[in-house]
Amino acid sequence: MKFTPEKYRIADERMKPFIDPDEIWEYINAAKPTPETVQNIINKSKSKQRLNLQEVATLIAADDEESVKAIKAGARFIKTSVYGNRIVLFAPLYIGNHCTNNCTYCGFRTDNKDQQRMTLEDHEIVKEVEALEDNGQKRLILVYGEHPKYSAEYIAHTVKTVYGVKKGNGEIRRVNINAAPLDIEGFKTVKESGIGTYQIFQETYHPEAYKWYHLSGKKADYNYRLTGLDRAQEAGVDDVGIGALFGLYDWRFEVMALIRHTNHLEACYNIGPHTISFPRITDASTSQIKKQYMVNDHDFARIVAILRLAVPYTGLILTARENVAVRNEVLDFGVSQIDGGTKLELGSYHETKNETQNLNREQFMINDNRSLNEVIEELIEKGNIPSFCTACYRLGRTGEHFMEFSVPGFIKRYCTPNALLTLAEYLQDYAPKETFDKGWKLIEKTLETELKEQKNVAEIKDRLEQIKAGKRDLYF
């Protein structure tokens, strides 16, 4: 796209900070929920309409037992009606932990002299990706500290390196990024390497609180980070992920601000965030945070359910920062993506080391250490279809979340069949016998129930047979 001076002016306007803390607090403080208003808001969401800030504030304030139950039931309804029962799986791959910033909650921060610093060399990236492929992974998110070493060109190089690794039937079909915000040129460079989503978490949306934790380095500039995804959009990266790190400031404020950020992206670019992440702080090497903002499990479940109702079309990502019990509980409230078989220590997918986590070699502690296969087996047992689908992104069906949300039958036409096809590949290539049997049973059951009346059911069955016969990468 050619940028005219006129265009720059518009871009500048768009990139103005859009969070007004007083406005957000006014909404929170003014909220007066009644059982009727809460139910009306839930019904609005169930009829597939986005919620506004006032409505979200009302759900946040509705903390009595009955309302919380109703909010969770509404979120469950959206999950099944919009997303079906598939859960997309991915793994993080840490490329380098050098960092010039000083985020007090993070083990990678520059002042932490205990952290063992390294950047994977190309041959190590290849080994890591081979190990991930050997486990059955198809979707990765690459993660980097912020450092001059990790320029846009370097990030693009690592993305291409990852896509180039093929081992047996293994390949990575979608690479997402979690890295520092770039300038417009930088985003263009990274886009050309074929990335999926570019994620940037604002950490805390409260400007004053942001100063407490971001002591030095480029990341100390709140506004540059806040407008990072605008620059991504201006560069043509239209698949972006937002997030807040829960535990830094009042969670009610962060939920409202995530919705405000969503409104901003929708208003300026006509496309909302592809994903919303809601990581909770966990222990990190020599980290320092204010304990009064820690979010308990009860409120965490409410956060997930409220986000689900507020933005029904957007993917919600839940990570191994959470323990298995919490993961299983909130999965029901509309989470659409989880990581599986996660290891955060740099180089640890291909190195067999003792299993205890070493916080001086990783960013923070994870609380779910299950292997990918264990995660898959548990999903199957609960009737969820593990999916490695990358079809929409590869077929250029962008704005897919809108499609899922707005086009009736989208899940049955595309998502469920593609989940079955990618699960079938996993079962054939990587699953132990027990998972293999359970997985094929689930596939057959889904064909006999959910997909029974579907027009293309014969074609789905045919493709499953082709996969059994050795074909790979089939999708609708």
Per partner kind, with CB cut-offs from 5 to 8 A, the member of ligand SAM, ligand SF4, none near residue 178 is: ligand SAM
Residues in contact with 276: Cβ distance below 8 Å, sequence separation at least 6, in sequence order = 241, 242, 243, 258, 262, 307, 311, 314, 315, 316, 317
With 0-12 CB in 10 A as exposed, 13-18 as middle and 19+ as buried, what is 157? middle
Shortest reach from residue 259's CB to ligand SF4, in Å: 23
Query: For the chain, what is the radius of gyration of the CA atoms?
Result: 22
Per partner kind, with CB cut-offs from 5 to 8 A, the member of ligand SF4, ligand SAM, none near residue 109 is: ligand SF4
Q: Which residues bind ligand SF4 (CB under 6 A)?
A: 99, 101, 103, 106, 108-109, 145-146, 219
Shortest reach from residue 279's CB to ligand SF4, in Å: 11
Q: To which residue do tokens 């990570």 refer?
A: 319
Q: Is 175 left (phi over 0), alpha (psi -120 to 50) or beta?
A: beta
Question: Which phi and psi angles does 366 have, rounded to 5°?
Answer: -105, 155
Q: Under a CB-based contact definition with an 8 Å cutoff, are residues 134 and 167 in contact?
A: yes
**Contacts with ligand SAM, 345-384, as mask; x by CB under 6 A:** ------------------xx--------------------
Residue 226 contacts ligand SAM per CB under 6 A: no
Question: Which phi and psi angles does 317 have, rounded to 5°?
Answer: -110, 130
Q: Under a CB-based contact definition with an 8 Å cutoff, are residues 311 and 404 in contact?
A: no
Shortest reach from residue 444's CB to ligand SAM, in Å: 39
Select the span of 50-58, 195-203, 354-362, 457-465 touching ligand SAM (CB under 6 A). 195-203
Residue with smaller CB distance to ligand SF4, 74 or 145: 145
CA gap 460, 466 in Å, rounded:
10
Residue with smaller CB distance to ligand SAM, 78 or 106: 106
Q: Under a CB-based contact definition with an 8 Å cutoff, are residues 289 and 104 in contact?
A: yes
CB atoms within 10 A of CB 295: 18
Select the span of 58-66, 158-166, 281-289, 341-349 touching ligand SAM (CB under 6 A). 281-289
Closest CA to 255 of 432, 467, 25, 438: 25
Taking CB under 6 A as the criterion, the residue among 19, 51, 106, 385 binding ligand SAM is 106
Per partner kind, with CB cut-offs from 5 to 8 A, the member of ligand SAM, ligand SF4, none near residue 129 is: none
Residue with smaller CB distance to ligand SF4, 96 or 439: 96
Taking CB under 6 A as the criterion, the residue among 179, 182, 256, 303 binding ligand SAM is 179
CB atoms within 10 A of CB 460: 21
Taking CB under 6 A as the criterion, the residue among 74, 145, 273, 417 binding ligand SAM is 145
Q: Under a CB-based contact definition with an 8 Å cutoff, are residues 181 and 225 in contact?
A: yes
Residue 112 contacts ligand SAM per CB under 6 A: no
Shortest reach from residue 284's CB to ligand SAM, in Å: 4
- The structure tokens listed for 298 are 């009860």
Residue 213 contacts ligand SAM per CB under 6 A: no
Shortest reach from residue 182's CB to ligand SAM, in Å: 11
Select the span of 30-38, 142-150, 300-308, 330-338 touching ligand SAM (CB under 6 A). 142-150
Per partner kind, with CB cut-offs from 5 to 8 A, the member of ligand SF4, ligand SAM, none near residue 321 is: ligand SAM
Closest CA to 243 of 283, 276, 209: 276
CB atoms within 10 A of CB 121: 10
Interacting residues toward ligand SAM by CB under 6 A: 105-106, 143-146, 178-180, 200-201, 203, 245, 279, 281-282, 284, 287, 321, 363-364
